[in-house]
Structure 1
């Protein structure tokens, strides 16, 4: 293969590192003489973390031998220094956790397994950051743009995500049960990254968290609730840090669990989780609260919350049984129920911070095509008249007032 630039190749893909990585994959798949086509998935906005491409590698002069991959890279971006740590975390997640999860599931029939993307190649060297993943669209998985834009998110879709999330978390318990020494060695590498001062000082994310909270706060119409939430602002990062620390029960959490970081195969009732830059070792309920509080409204949660937590726990129990692990030995139902109540204030905090991006994603196609973490939008980028943001913020605040979650958060703030 020539390393000359293809005429139809995006400028951002013009790199010896990217070309050489493609050659590595092609040779591994038995394709000696090849050509490729590149499609840019995301990355054009200056505030994306990574450029993401879909690349189809095919044998020259033959349509029978081809292979499609997803390439995520910081090469040819201006964000290499800022977001190198996020890239390192995702590579670590694929190489040490996801690969282990895939091995663990080999004892199951294929239809029983949680779908996990295979990492084919990675590099964490400075200025050579790259991850190459299998392209799951070839297996029928796709980003659901209606879901990404929060249209028609119904009980069926939400239930499917929680059922598959239970399997994802269950694999940590199985990992710990089967190989406790290695499990302990690995989990200490997955301390929270996003809310830690060293990382925040290097990136724009500290400002992002405070500015997002402030924007939501200004939209709150309940004066008493707004005054209470005002006292939270100065302790926002401390509270987030507290909730994502390891607690009594911990697993490898996704850390950024919303629909943009999932691929769906609706006819099979399957979900594949992707984008692991925020993976952390923490309480599993943090993922549940994150997902439910930014993906559903209070009416939906009021009607379905108990059912959804039951769906999660029942699927956790059933999946653990496939590996001869009893749920009562690793995560008793009463402990799970207690964690659900304990972490509801975390759900409120996440909503106050993240609903700005979620509601913008519903109106801006260029946003929903990227991970939520791919954004550090300046305040001037946010529309002033985002009515959906106002509706969603006041909805979650009213819920927190009515169910006592806001008062519980106030008690924690005073400690």
Structure 2
């Protein structure tokens, strides 16, 4: 197992100390992001090499309405590794949010879970995949004064977010399920090679404690209640609205069962928050050719159905969800999953029937997340300024946001599909 040697103490500095300029560029930047912070980040990320960091220039602060579990900053750093020429690298700095919500995220260990993914799991998974990258390069984690990550910003390399409002077309979805299958398959091999690593990821951080269930109830239930009122207005969905109201009453006591690991299941390391804004795509002539997954705070060693259902009911365009489901399941995900395990010498390989069973068992998870976040995903960025978790838990402000998001054409089409599917498989009774 890899040693935790990339976690550096906040006070550590480079052996070659230089005067560094950190330019906040009139952006409201936390005070701890000073020269010492960046020196420690480079020492960690460059594996103790003597690197002279000359200057850091911030180019972006947090944007409202797009990130809910962290604040994101972007900066450019100029450094020298002892060569004649200076080099420039773009950085993403990810910070735990302030206030009661941020404190709660810290208590349940979301950032520590992501640290463990980047330190213990991803390097080994990428090794098994012959160096194929799953995520952007991780440089540094700092626990105090506030939990903070530093990553290489892959935007200059051509990796960007896709259009979440429009949703992902078939080409994007094929790429997602192929990369996801490789990630899952390699994690299965790693779990056999290094079972001690996966004990770290055996607990679902979102669903295990009563406090977390109370937080979910406060955040989730208003979305379901508002949706039930909207569904009642759709012709032919009157009985569905009644079933939805009955479903609401069983959410709090069942979230842990629906979302958490089970004793008997095909287990892989899941992303567990797989939706369009947690995927960065690279394009060539307008076509997606590669991707990185980001934001692994919720990762858990559990069913592949968690990722499959979460993504399927939040991120594809409606026609892809409606017409290409079997193709994505069998032709993209399972075909790649099986071939990756074969190449890595793993046996016995789960059958297609095993995977289909895992997906169906976890469709309730996809349903829940579609209600919780699809209306936000479908909202135009110009309408997202008020989309904070605090506003969503305020009844008046929250209902206004839900009213906008749940009236979009994509939301209505997708949710009608999902509701009919939940009735068909018996989730809604």
Aligned ranges 1:3-402 → 2 under 5 Å: 6=23, 8-15=25-32, 19-27=35-43, 28=46, 30-44=50-64, 48-59=68-79, 64-74=86-96, 79-84=101-106, 85-105=109-129, 108=130, 110=131, 113-125=132-144, 127-144=145-162, 147-150=163-166, 153-179=168-194, 181-188=195-202, 191-200=203-212, 204-220=215-231, 221=234, 222-247=237-262, 248-267=265-284, 269-296=289-316, 299-310=319-330, 311-326=332-347, 329-360=348-379, 364=383, 378-379=394-395, 380-381=397-398, 382-383=400-401, 385-386=403-404, 388-389=406-407, 391-392=409-410, 394-396=412-414, 398-400=416-418, 402=420
Higher helix fraction (1 or 2): 1
| Coordinate RMSD, CA, aligned | 3.3
Q: CA deviation at 1:45?
A: 6.0
Q: Is the 8 A contact 2:39 2:53 kept in 1?
A: no
Q: CA deviation at 1:352?
A: 2.1
Q: Is the 8 A contact 1:208 1:376 kept in 2?
A: yes
**Mapped pair 1:409 → 2:415:** no
Structure 1 pair 402–274 and aligned structure 2 pair: CA distance change class (3 A): closer
CA distance in 2, matches of 1:45, 1:349: 21
Structure 1 pair 373–261 and aligned structure 2 pair: CA distance change class (3 A): farther
Deviation string 1:56-76 (CA, Å, 9 cap, x unpaired) is: 11149x973222221111377
Q: CA deviation at 1:316?
A: 0.8
Q: CA deviation at 1:53?
A: 1.4
CA distance in 2, matches of 1:294, 1:356: 9
Q: Is the 8 A contact 2:20 2:53 kept in 1?
A: no
Q: Is the 8 A contact 1:91 1:124 kept in 2?
A: no
- Specify every segment of 5 or more residues in structure 2 that has no aligned partner in the other structure, as ranges: 1-17
Q: Is the 8 A contact 1:10 1:38 kept in 2?
A: yes
Q: CA deviation at 1:228?
A: 0.7
CA distance in 2, matches of 1:18, 1:51: 17
CA distance in 1, matches of 2:111, 2:224: 26
Structure 1 pair 211–75 and aligned structure 2 pair: CA distance change class (3 A): closer
Query: Normalising to structure 1: TM-score of the pair?
Result: 0.82
Deviation string 1:56-100 (CA, Å, 9 cap, x unpaired) is: 11149x973222221111377775413213222222222222233
Structure 1 pair 374–163 and aligned structure 2 pair: CA distance change class (3 A): farther
Deviation string 1:322-363 (CA, Å, 9 cap, x unpaired) is: 31224xx14211111222333334332322222222223565
Q: Is the 8 A contact 1:71 1:132 kept in 2?
A: yes
